[in-house]
Amino acid sequence: MAKSSFRIEGKTALGHFLTYRPLIHELVTRDLKVKYRRSFLGYVWSVLNPLLMMCLQAWVFTVIFKSNIENYPLYLIIGNTLYTFFSESTTISMNSIISNAGLIKKVYIPKFILPISSVVSSLVTTLFSFAAIVIVMIITRAPVHWTILLVWFPLLSMFLFNCGVGMILSGLTVYFRDMQHLYGVVTLALMYATPIFYSIDAMTPEVQFMIRLNPIYHYINLFRCLIMIGGVPGPNTWFACIASATVTMIIGLMVFRKLQKNFLLHI
């Protein structure tokens, strides 16, 4: 049996990750089961919800605001699905430490498993929602490009980014519960700062510059390029995606490692 000294926790993050991979699996299964246990349509909601949202928004923005983006329904549903992935996963992981307080007070588990598994659960729901994107593609008779095979790249970048943000938020929330109230406003502000229902081309150069500082824009933009335009954008876009994701993930791990030491005294 391996000799374990608890003082080295954090240094062997990868080792912990491998030992506790079944735990991530079980936590994700639990999240999904509990989420849909009592609903009549169950998993269908993951597909139906984005479709209904898209219909509502498409109607509002084409009929009332006269948007002229090509294949607007597809444009909207991609933006919405990815943004929902970000906001949902980070909100759930923000609360993951507090809501599992009973567990980490009694049993040793590597604590970063909790925010990460929240993001994984949200990723699984997002993958279900991709069925909605496919449905919209079929209905709008959108051409299918080979570049669709590359969509895992922006998705993976976004996954890493969400994990990083989730770890920072979950750690801070243990010390300052204010985060829970504040974050709803932050996600709304970020939603407006991300071209979900409008196009970046319609903005002034200054605003465009600001939007480009938002990593979420790059993930959604690359995703849309790959599905709707069928072209492979230049290296800058790819670099913006992977760099922002990796940096956020590393910062997240570092911040979380520092914050987790005193979790137990505050939950």
Q: How far is the CB of 15 from other proteins (least distance, A)?
A: 12
Q: Cβ closer to other proteins: 81 or 173?
A: 173
Closest by CA to 215, choosing from 252, 185, 240, is: 240
| Interface positions, 148-177, toward other proteins (CB under 8 A) | 175-177
Whole-Å CA distances, 156 to 153, 181, 220, 242: 5, 28, 12, 9
Torsion of CA 128, 130, 135, 138, to 10 degrees: -140
The radius of gyration computed from the CA coordinates of the chain, to the nearest angstrom, equals: 20
Binding to other proteins by CB under 8 A, coded x per residue (else -) over 232-261, reads -----------------------------x
134 binds other proteins (CB under 8 A): no
Q: How far is the CB of 98 from other proteins (least distance, A)?
A: 11
* Lookup: tokens for 36: 């849909």
55 binds other proteins (CB under 8 A): no
Q: Cβ closer to other proteins: 106 or 141?
A: 106
The DSSP symbol for 198 reads S
265 binds other proteins (CB under 8 A): yes
Q: Cβ closer to other proteins: 15 or 143?
A: 15
Q: Cβ closer to other proteins: 16 or 224?
A: 16
Q: Which of 11, 12, 30, 60 binds other proteins (CB under 8 A)?
A: 30
Closest by CA to 174, choosing from 42, 266, 36, is: 266
Cα–Cα distance measured from residue 88 to residue 152, given in angstroms and rounded to the nearest whole number: 19
Q: What 3-state DSSP class applies to 71?
A: coil
Cα–Cα distance measured from residue 211 to residue 177, given in angstroms and rounded to the nearest whole number: 29
| Interface positions, 174-203, toward other proteins (CB under 8 A) | 175-179
6 binds other proteins (CB under 8 A): yes
Q: How far is the CB of 29 from other proteins (least distance, A)?
A: 8
Cα–Cα distance measured from residue 76 to residue 78, given in angstroms and rounded to the nearest whole number: 6
Q: Cβ closer to other proteins: 11 or 261?
A: 261
Size of the site for other proteins (CB under 8 A): 37
Cα–Cα distance measured from residue 183 to residue 126, given in angstroms and rounded to the nearest whole number: 21
103 binds other proteins (CB under 8 A): yes
104 binds other proteins (CB under 8 A): yes
102 binds other proteins (CB under 8 A): yes
- Could you tell me if residue 180 is left (phi over 0), alpha (psi between -120 and 50 degrees) or otherwise beta? alpha
Report whether 136 contacts 205 (CB < 8 A): no
Residues that bind other proteins (CB under 8 A): 1, 3-7, 9, 19-23, 25-27, 29-30, 33-34, 37, 102-109, 175-179, 261, 264-266
